Structure 1
Amino acid sequence: MNNKYPWIVGLYNQVINQYRQGYNNKSIVINSMIGTACSVLIWNIIKWILCERKKNIYSCNQCVSCILMNLKNHPDFYFIDLKKEKSDSYIEKAIDLVKKIIASTSHQNSAKIIFFSNSNNIPVSFIDFLLKIVEDSYSNTFLFIKNYFSDMLPTIFIGRCITYNLFFSVRDKKNILWLQKATNSSLKLCMIMLKLSNGSPLVACYMLKHTLLKKRESFYKQFNSCLRKKNFFLLFPFFEEINFSLIILWIYSILIDAIKIKYLDESYLINLDQKLLILKISFKYSFKKLSLSIHSWFKCRFNLINIIGIDQNVLITSELLKFEKIFFHI
């Protein structure tokens, strides 16, 4: 078992022990947030299932199956990463592929395992096909589906599977220590990045390891300057060098904090290192201005992501001017 990530160990042990005790359900859905090493967890479970000389809850790492898994070349392990394409011909090809896998004979005289890496990309018609497979319950075929807490999988399908939830708990000291050691960062910074990354340890780790932390500090200094000069267009250069989703996250997280501090205590804040800026915004600007701005930036982000061919610079310029109008002219 690869225990590089301490938060996956408990769920790994739970799943393996259930199968050691004779649990029969071979259709497994694991819910997780993006950036929680869910694929690593599933890969280790699959490696144990295929291992020829299991050592209690661990794979031996020496048999032919383990070696093939380590090489990512096991003939009975099928990794299917469905694209967002929803054409009938594409779906038919995917269905034919799964049918061939089920009808084929195991190469290692053991289980055959199909891993769908993202339920968000599974079309409804394909889920209907998978439901029939789950109901037929083929004796030597396992289905693993990674689900990013979406509602793409219907209740009737979930009801036929065994479902697990993978979380990164900030209350577990081992988890926080991992992030601190991996990034050589303080507890305070780790907690801020975890909140900004929606509890995703690998995303938080990336943000702490790269120059994004310094750029975030520069961004909030410039934001403070914008408040003094009443000119939010000074933020535009940040959109040219950093992903717009991240910049918008920084904007509405500080606005949300400004609302929180009006009604809640400091422990609820996301940007714990920007308390002075949060107090300034909260004191000077009304709830109406803050909530209008948050809603507007959410809408802007949605349009940037979903409208094909949209001029990003024009939309961001327009949104910054709108932001300025809400804050200083309404």
Structure 2
Amino acid sequence: MTELYPWLQPPFNQLLALTNSGQLAHALVLCGPAGIGKATMADALAAVLLCKNRQPAGACGQCKSCMLRQAGNHADLLKLHSDTQHIGVDAIRQLNNFSHGAAQQHGNRVVVIPAADTMTEAAANALLKTLEEPPAGCFIILVSSNYPQLSATIRSRCQQWQLHAGNAADIAQWLSQQTNKSPPAFLVEYCQGAPLKALSLLADDTATSLSDTLTLLDEYFSGKLQLTNVVKQLDGKAELSGMLGFYIRQRLAQPLEFLRQQAVLTAYQRWCRDATRIIGQNSALALTGLLTELKSLLQHPEAKWKS
């Protein structure tokens, strides 16, 4: 049986009840931030749908169907994969053929689409007919970390399940239990309430590096640290782009009036865009330019920003 994280148990119980009553939607989207456990939930739901001896808590884990699934060899379970960054139309054609075929184990057929928001327009269009006329006994589970990126027509034909991990205090307590470390106060918010991402950052000490980044930025913008020193220490740091965005949104932009908020965010977005094309010494120059522009915008309300 797939072990569930504690915050996934309540929505899983709801899905299980719908399954047992025959009311589960034939197509649903599990959505939420990266690191919330969507793939785990998809696996648990697939296990329930395929199990031949379903228990009150979920799949039995012992029937032939469960054993085949656990071995990665269940003919009635299809997990889409892509060799590129997008799910193309060929993968969806495979899905359509599978969904209209006969169940080898004489039960349900289940399709899991990881990163469903990466479907190309052609792939999404190819999926629509199957979603509009779902074959009996076939369930399609889409997984998405960016729900709005899914086409409106796909969203309208799937039941949405937004996964949450509870409040920050509960997540922090769970993290402490897993790592015997007290997570930094900012970490849960930085990870958008996603415990698994926060756990990963704690486990490899990236969280400590992020704390150092926040301190350096505070010291620079309060005038305690010179620009050359902060750039030297920040350039090349792990998760620098994410932490800069977090810092700018939470600590710099919020107190400002609307126009300066937009100026600050535009400067950061421009830096992010350029950072994908900048390497080596030029990255330090780009970071210098960003920090200089941000400080100017904070100190001088009349400062203009580049388009």
TM-score normalized by the length of structure 1: 0.77
* Number of the residue aligned with 1:181: 177
Change (3 A) 1:77 1:223: same
Following superposition, the deviation at residue 190 of structure 1 comes to: 5.5
Post-superposition CA distance 1:45-88 (Å, at most 9, x none)? 100111111112411111122122222332211111344348xx
Q: Matched residue of 2:139: which SS?
A: strand
Change (3 A) 1:130 1:176: same
- Any conservation in 2 of the 1:32–1:38 contact (CA below 8 Å)? yes
Following superposition, the deviation at residue 111 of structure 1 comes to: 1.6
* Number of the residue aligned with 1:70: 70
Q: Which is worse superposed, 138-147 or 209-218? A: 209-218
Q: CA RMSD in A?
A: 3.0
1:219 aligns with 2:222: no
- Structure 2: runs of 5 or more not aligned: none
Of 234, 237, 248, the match for 1:241? 237
Following superposition, the deviation at residue 8 of structure 1 comes to: 0.5
1:119 aligns with 2:116: yes
Cα distance in 2 for partners of 1:143, 1:321 equals 50
Post-superposition CA distance 1:10-36 (Å, at most 9, x none)? 111101101111215311112211110
1:298 aligns with 2:279: no
- Provide the aligned length of Structure 1 versus Structure 2: 295
Change (3 A) 1:218 1:6: same
Cα distance in 2 for partners of 1:177, 1:230 equals 34
Post-superposition CA distance 1:191-213 (Å, at most 9, x none)? 52111111111112222233223
Cα distance in 1 for partners of 2:218, 2:263 equals 19
Post-superposition CA distance 1:118-140 (Å, at most 9, x none)? 12211122222211101111012
Cα distance in 1 for partners of 2:7, 2:15 equals 14
- Any conservation in 2 of the 1:239–1:247 contact (CA below 8 Å)? no
Change (3 A) 1:139 1:244: same
User: What is the letter of the counterpart of residue 196 of structure 1?
Assistant: Y
* Number of the residue aligned with 1:204: 198
- Any conservation in 2 of the 1:80–1:116 contact (CA below 8 Å)? yes
Post-superposition CA distance 1:267-307 (Å, at most 9, x none)? xxxxxxxxxxxxxxxxxxx99877644442233224435xx
Change (3 A) 1:85 1:13: closer
Cα distance in 2 for partners of 1:221, 1:25 equals 48
Cα distance in 1 for partners of 2:120, 2:22 equals 32
User: What is the letter of the counterpart of residue 252 of structure 1?
Assistant: I
